Structure 1
Amino acid sequence: METITAFTEQETQKKISDFFEIKESNVTLCPVKDVLSTVGDKWSVFVMVTLGKSKTMRFNELKHGIGGISQKMLTVTLRELESFGLVNREIFPQIPPKVEYTITPMGEEFLRHLVVMLEWACKNSAMIAENRKK
């Protein structure tokens, strides 16, 4: 598996500058905001990480694996992730119906970046907790 590392300070500054230089006359919604509003919420993160562990899961397996998520919220989150192409939903024609959710190749790529962020959060959790106390 390839290692994904954070950008250097100079690369980060360049990327930030590039985001602000994007000017498309007919675009009213920044694609970064659009993506982050969907995949940046806690349930999307939990779904992606849980699916990342097993690759393919049924709805109730996901629900129990995440814990604390309502059936409706899981349904909404899975639909959003599916609409972005990060998760695939497969329905098997049987009685009772069987539905499986799988991470797509684009979802795998996203998960690799997400894991870097989660690693950063774990590494800095004590400092974050201390700053919150201030």
Structure 2
Amino acid sequence: MKFSRTSPSTGPGSPEVTGFYDDDTGSIQYLVADPATSKAAVIDVVLGFSPQSAATDTQHVDTVLRHAEAAGYEIEWILDTHPHADHLMASHVLKQRLNKPNAIGAKVTEIAELWRDYYNMPDAFDPAADFDHLFEDGDTFT
């Protein structure tokens, strides 16, 4: 990971947000935490991928989790803002490691249908099976 930057909380109800930039994908992964409760969520964490060997790695997952542990944060949610066609999502790996729910927006079901048709893979990408929660517009959570 090339660099990270933290925006500190500005008071009650304001989270601390740390962004981790991945140069290979141009992605920013986030750790969002409530300093008052030490509860946190990770957002859009990616898996590393080597095109030469076709192997994945958990370097980014490990970095974000080490940062959360060092800060004393307990991750409560694994969130993705959209399905990442440009890189591999680490949601499943994080769910296995943390035993916490993963979630994405409910509109992902429309994208899944589009992808199934586009790639002629009728059984591929089942958001209801791949995520614990599909958020609707206006949903809230802690």
Question: Which structure has the highest strand share of the two?
Answer: 2
TM-score (norm. length: structure 1): 0.27
TM-score (norm. length: structure 2): 0.26
Question: Which structure has the highest helix share of the two?
Answer: 1
